[in-house]
Structures are given as C-alpha cells and as structure tokens.
Amino acid sequence: MVDQQARTGGDKRPTEIPAIRWEEPPEGPVLVLLDQTRLPAEEVELVCTDAAALVEAIRSLAVRGAPLLGIAGAYGVALAAARGFDVAEAARALEEARPTAVNLSVGVRRARAAHQAELARTGDPTAAAVAALAAARALHQEDAEASARMAAHGLALLDELLSGGGHRILTHCNTGSLVSGGEGTAFAVALAAHRAGRLRRLWVDETRPLLQGARLTAYEAARSGMAYTLLTDNAAGSLFAAGEVDAVLIGADRIAADGSVANKVGSYPLAVLARYHHVPFIVVAPLTTVDPGTPDGASIEIEQRPGFEVTEVAAPQAAGAGGGIPMAPLGTQAYNPAFDVTPPELVTAIVTEEGVVSPVTAEALAELCARAPAG
Ligand code: MRU
C-alpha cells in the first residue's frame, strides 16, 4: 500500500535532499520516498507499507537513478521481511521492476542474502528481518561515503585534465542527492568543483522525454547556488562547436566488464560529440554499478518505455495513454529506449570511489573492482 504526505520540516542544508528514509511508526515500519515525479513543483512523499507499492514507485520513476534504486531495493526486502510478507517473492518483484540499472539487483540481493543467512542461523524471522534492515542501512551509508570519495577523485581528475580558469561542465539526466545516499555521482563532482570555486558553469541537458535534467538536476543546481544553464538536448552540438564545454560528466546505470557504459538515452551522442571536439567524457559511478557478469555493451538489457512518454507532454505522474497533452497525431508510434550504451573507447575515464580508470579497459576495471571491500 502507498500513502502520500506533503514533506514538512525546515530546509537548513539545501544541498541535502533526502530521497529515501526508513521509519518505524506504531502502525509498523514504512519506507518513505520523495516522489520525484512531482518535482520541482511539489515536494510530496510516498509512504510505502509493502514491496508492491515500492515496485510501482520504481516503475513510475517516483524513485529512480541507479544508486538510489539499489538502496530502495534493499529497503524493499527489509520492508517485506519486517511486515511478514514472502521475502523471496518480494525480492523477485523488486529485481524485475526495471532491467538496466544493475544496482537494483545488487541492493535486493544483498538484503536478501542477509535475511537468508540470519534465518538459516537462528530460524527466527524477526532476527532475519533485522538483518535485512541492517544490510539496507549499511548499503545506504556506504553509498553516501562512496559519493564523497567519487567527488574528491573526480575533482582531482578535472583539475588534472583541464587548465585553470573555471570548468564548464555539461551533464545529462540527474545524478545528485536525488539518486544517492550522499550527494550523488557526476553531480557530486560538479558540486565539489563549485565549492572549490572552480566551476564556471554547469550546462544541464533537459533530458527528454521525462526531463530529469530540467526537473531534477536544475532543482539540485538551484539549491546549491551554482551557476547553471538549462539547454534542450539537441542544443548540445552547437554548444560544443562554440567551445563552451570543457568536460562532460555523467553517471551510469550499468558498466559492463569491458567498460561499456549504459546511461540515460542521449549519453552516447554526447560521447561522440565530445570525441569530435576533443573534450573529456567522464563517467562517475560507484563500484555497485560495475557488473562483471555483463561482458559487454551489447549484453546490457535496455529498458523500453511506453510511447506516450514521447507522444504526449505531461509531468510523468500525469502521463498515461491519453493522460497528457498530445504532441503527435493519435496512434503515432514512438521509439523510447530509456538508456543507450557508450563504448569504452569513447569514455575518457571512469571515476569510482576506489579511484579512476583511464584509459578504460577491461583489465583496469577488473583491477579496480578487486580493490573494493566485499559488500
Ligand atoms: O531513468 P532514470 O531516471 O532512473 O535514469 C537515471 C540515469 O540515467 C542516471 O544518469 C543514472 O542512474 C546515474 S545516477 C547516478
């Protein structure tokens, strides 16, 4: 079941935008999500009392972005366990809610493994539920720490690659606090540059069709006080041609073993533009996004979304076949992949919490993953 409530409370630290939290009111534990489909117009929270409500929130993109999907998936398993639902069934439904971001299954499996291990050890469902929650909380905390470390590595890389005078960074989709236990991935690097006085401008792609850039990244950028400008996705080419972009910083939903990067559709064209214009194309992602089990880009399943997201204009929560304002003749077919894949040869560097891979090769990526503490 899902309930809605207006977000309350002071807003003392504007760059912190908690996207998810676990609460234990007397009626039983709940998972509270900031409904990202309602931003920036309204700050409304969804209160999930079961995994089914969370699955729906994931599908509708109320909760989204790779690292946050992992955290949400882990809490979803904990919620099912704490509420006495079938944990295996909940885990399966959560894992299948969206296919591309590997973090979702990483988070679900981690909490499920903790639950299973404790159940096998004690035979006590309450203790097993506590173990699942502890695993979710640990992942949440680790993601916050990874975020801070990625920001530091990313800023050092920018300073190494670019000359002084202030960096002009182009970004795509949304990669800040709204997708993370901390300040995010690519956006956290831009934020670190801003705080260090070295961000001249953040160029924000609007990110059609669901406008994660316009609705969410611009919201985060405005709250941080950084200089930012919104552009339509197809204006990026002329911006590069005018010499206005020093680097591209994006996140990732899955990085294959060969270094291919799946991210929000529109990332690959930016990589091509960046290569043509000799601009670094930098991917920032935690190691939970690297999937050694996916050998290459062609093996990454790309989520296909409904055509109405393209043929109608509406905030996602209002959209639905027939729910929005038509932008195309009725019955028009739409091609609407949620992600695309950038091959490793177009990626200048992958920044993770354990350090930077550049050039991007399967060997270098595997070596970095081996350094990570087991989760
Ligand atoms: O469809 P979304 O909004 O979940 O897509 C999110 C992205 O593509 C992000 O760029 C990606 O998850 C990286 S977030 C750190």
Q: List, for residues 320-372, the tens digit of each pLDDT value.
A: 455 788 999 999 999 999 999 999 999 999 999 999 999 999 999 999 999 87
User: From the CB of 253, is ligand 1 less than 6 Å away?
Assistant: yes
Say what the pLDDT of residue 10 is: 47
CA of 216 to the centre of ligand 1 (A): 11
Q: How many angstroms separate the CA atoms of 229 and 245, rounded? A: 12
Task: Tell the residue nearest (CA) to atom 5 of ligand 1.
Answer: 65
9 is in an annotated binding site: no
Copy the structure tokens of residue 318: 């209002």
- Which of 143, 212, 219 is the best mutation target for the ligand 1 pocket, counting ligand atoms within 8 Å of the beta carbon and taking the most? 212
Copy the structure tokens of residue 113: 């493994």
Say what the pLDDT of residue 141 is: 98
CA of 176 to the centre of ligand 1 (A): 10
Atom of ligand 1 nearest to the CA of 339: 8
Say what the pLDDT of residue 12 is: 43
User: From the CB of 35, is ligand 1 less than 6 Å away?
Assistant: no
Say what the pLDDT of residue 15 is: 59
65 is in an annotated binding site: yes
Is the ipTM, as predicted for this complex, more than 0.90? yes
Say what the pLDDT of residue 314 is: 67
Q: How many angstroms separate the CA atoms of 337 and 239, rounded? A: 25
CA of 227 to the centre of ligand 1 (A): 22
Positions of the chain with pLDDT lower than 50, given as ranges: 10-13, 319-320
- Cα–chain center distance at 156: 22
Say what the pLDDT of residue 11 is: 47
Q: Which of 207, 201, 205, 173 is nearest to 64 (CA)?
A: 173
Phi-psi region of 173 (alpha: psi -120 to 50; beta: other; left: phi over 0): left
CA of 25 to the centre of ligand 1 (A): 31
234 is in an annotated binding site: no
Say what the pLDDT of residue 2 is: 79
Task: Tell the residue nearest (CA) to atom 6 of ligand 1.
Answer: 65
141 is in an annotated binding site: no
26 preceded by cis ω (within 30°)? no
